Structure 1
Amino acid sequence: MALDPNLVGWSEGPWERSWTADDALLYAVAVGAGQDDPVAELAVTTENTAGVEQRALPTFGVVLAQFGGPQEIPLGDVDRAFVVHAEQSLTAHRPLPVSGRMSLRRRIVDVFDKGSGALVVVETEGSDVDGPLVTARSSVFVRGQGGFGGPRGESARWSAPEREPDAVLRFRTAVNQALVYRLTGDRNPLHSDPAFARRGGFDRPILHGLCTYGITCRLLVNALCGGDPTRVTGMSGRFTRPVWPGEELVVSVWEAEDGTAVFRTANGSGETVLDRGWFAVR
């Protein structure tokens, strides 16, 4: 099995992606909205609450950009059980409508040789009739496909302030969290099929990295934006270890004066699962 050495520059699109208000509601529930308190996040979980306008969580834009259209990135002859999500970033050019339609294009922008594997960076851009709407950049790590002599790539500078976090946010995932989240479009069997998970080296199915990412965003929206997801302009993070459905997530947040924040998400045992986090609001 070998990774295709000529991936950089590959592109596809455009294709059209539409979504409904119900899709936005399902996504919010899939990342835990209303799970702890069913009346605490009504703007993202209901469409008919008196005096409450429905809003879409910004990370729903990642789902719209990366699922529901072409699914197979042409990595070459590799076992998909050895492909794991490594990094994710989102740029929200404007607030995401709760329903709509956009045109998408995707391209592979980089392939890095990390020694033990290859890091493939894919960027998807979505626009509607009013212009750019969302840009999602996703990196996948292909285990066992390093050592091909390519560039290693430089890590962006990131550090948490040397002080106690300004906020610590907690959420316990449900044991069926992955089964609900997969209904948003990510049907990777790594998150539902025990045999497939074992092929990838896991004892049982793991939670989607993008579910951890969405849960973290939701907690940050509630803590830093007063529950208003339309204020979010960007978010990024690096996945560092798997999350098991049913585990607690603990988000440590450090705010900056420029309206941004850095964060780190850990499990209940204190092990980091989403690192080098950055969050920006308008």
Structure 2
Amino acid sequence: MPIDPSVAIGAELGSTTFSWSESDVLLYHLAIGAGSREGDNLSPDALRWTLDGPSLQVLPSFGVVVPTFHATDPPPLDLPGCEINLAQVVHGSQSVEVAGPLPTSGTATVTTTLTDVWDKGKAAVIWQEGVARADSGEELWRTRSSIFVRGEGGFGGERGSSEAVAVPDRDPDLQTSYAVTPQQALLYRLCGDRNPLHADPDFAKRAGFPAPILHGLCSYGIVLRELTSGLLGGDATAVRGFTARFAGVVFPGETIQVSGWHEDGRVVASATIAGGERDGSPVLADCVLSV
């Protein structure tokens, strides 16, 4: 059978040791749109994302991508108990929790485990958890993510749970937008995700899309950056975690509108497409920024 939960759940995917530099941090921030607004090249607040030196800070979402930052092959899907096709896969959700501010350079080891496999009938949802530790054994950050595999449900597994995050019934404390550049996905793929779905028009069409789509994790980073800049004074060290569900696709050239609310000691948010034929289409939902 393509998916066997008895084999998959609890399977360890091994450990990977990796290093990163200030240059990697700068590339990541540029790939998620930092420094793109007029005047950002002169703004001390904006330059905290894009200029190496003592003022450089690291957005916590960097921890999600840095273990594979220098990968040049498409992401492998050789998951125990899961025989799936890359063209059937979309990112379902993502979270990151940090133990403290991420260093601008360093070395860590991440250990990843398959934690759950859900049967949604027409699709399967596969969950992974990764824990990154310094050489001393100290935990640096923890990630949890799911992939949505179309056409691979119906294997008789648990359906799983879903908890929607309601946004307040009032005007948002922040409403801003970011215009995704035509080359955004081509730039972001240099951060270690060479999935052809985001670059190859023919591959995208075979996967059911009219054109390559933006990486979900690029949208994730854009939204976190916009919320951090707009509601936390641009202070990445104030972020303790960020969770979001990927609710729809973004095509390069579209505009992402971000709405955020301070609520119960945290920030809840949503992101949609602004303008064009897909105005109002969802991008990210169930967004929670922990502070």
TM-score (norm 1): 0.93
Query: 1:72, CA displacement in angstroms?
Result: 2.6
How far apart, in 2, do the equivalents of 1:278 and 1:177 lie?
A: 24
- How far apart, CA to CA, are the structure 1 residues paired with 2:245 and 2:67? 19
Cα pair 1:66 1:124 within 8 Å, conserved? no
**Aligned partners of 2:70 and 2:191 also within 8 Å:** no
User: 1:8, 1:110 within 8 Å by CA — same for their partners in 2?
Assistant: yes
Among 212, 220, 225, the alignment partner of 2:219 is 212
The answer to whether 1:197 aligns with 2:204 is yes
Secondary structure in 2 aligned to 1:2? Answer: coil
Measure, in 2, the Cα distance between the counterparts of 1:264 and 1:231. 20
| Structure 1 residues 68 and 7: CA distance shift in structure 2, 3 A | farther
Q: Which residue of 1 aligns with 2:34?
A: 33
The letter of the residue matching 1:26 is: L
Letter of the aligned partner of 1:2 in structure 2? P
Q: Distance in 1 between matches of 2:177 and 2:120?
A: 33
Structure 1 CA distance for aligned equivalents of residues 69 and 9 of structure 2 = 21
> What SS is found at the alignment partner of 2:8?
coil
Aligned to 1:245: 252
Please tell me the residue identity of whatever aligns with 2:175: V
Aligned to 1:112: 118
Deviations 1:121-173, CA, capped at 9 Å, x for gaps: 01111011361111111100000001111111111242111122121021101
Please name the residue that 2:172 is paired with. Answer: 165
Shift of 1:21: 0.4
Q: Would you identify which runs of 4 or more consecutive aligned residues in structure 1 move more than 3 Å? A: 65-71
Output the CA distance in 1 between the equivalents of 2:122 and 2:102.
38
Corresponding letter in the other structure for 1:112: W
Residue among 266, 273, 282 paired with 1:267: 273
Please list, as runs of the form range in 1=range in 2, the aligned pairs for 1:97-108 lying within 5 A after superposition.
97-108=103-114
Alignment of 1:39-50 (within 5 A): 39-40=42-43, 41-48=46-53
Q: TM-score, normalised by structure 2?
A: 0.91
- Equivalent AA in structure 1 for residue 22 of structure 2: A
RMSD: 1.7
C-alpha distance in 1, partners of 2:128/2:69?
Answer: 13
Contact kept in structure 2, 1:17 and 1:68, CA below 8 Å: no
Per-residue deviation, residues 238-270 of structure 1 (Å, max 9, x unmatched): 111110011101011111242x11000001111
Alignment match of 1:57 (pick from 56, 59, 65): 59
Q: How does 1:116-155 map to 2 (within 5 A)?
A: 116-128=122-134, 129=136, 131-155=138-162
| Alignment-derived partner of residue 195 in structure 2 | 188
Aligned partners of 2:154 and 2:280: how far apart in 1? Answer: 32
Q: Corresponding residue for 1:12?
A: 13
Corresponding residue pairs, total: 277
Amino acid at match of 2:197: L
The whole-number CA distance in structure 1 between the counterparts of 2:3 and 2:201 is 25
| Contact 2:77-2:86 at 8 Å conserved across structures | no
Q: Tell me which moved more, 160-169 or 90-99.
A: 160-169
Q: Runs of 5+ in structure 1 lacking a partner?
A: none
Determine the C-alpha separation between the residues in 2 that align with 1:167 and 1:46.
26
Between the aligned residues of both structures, percent identity stands at 42
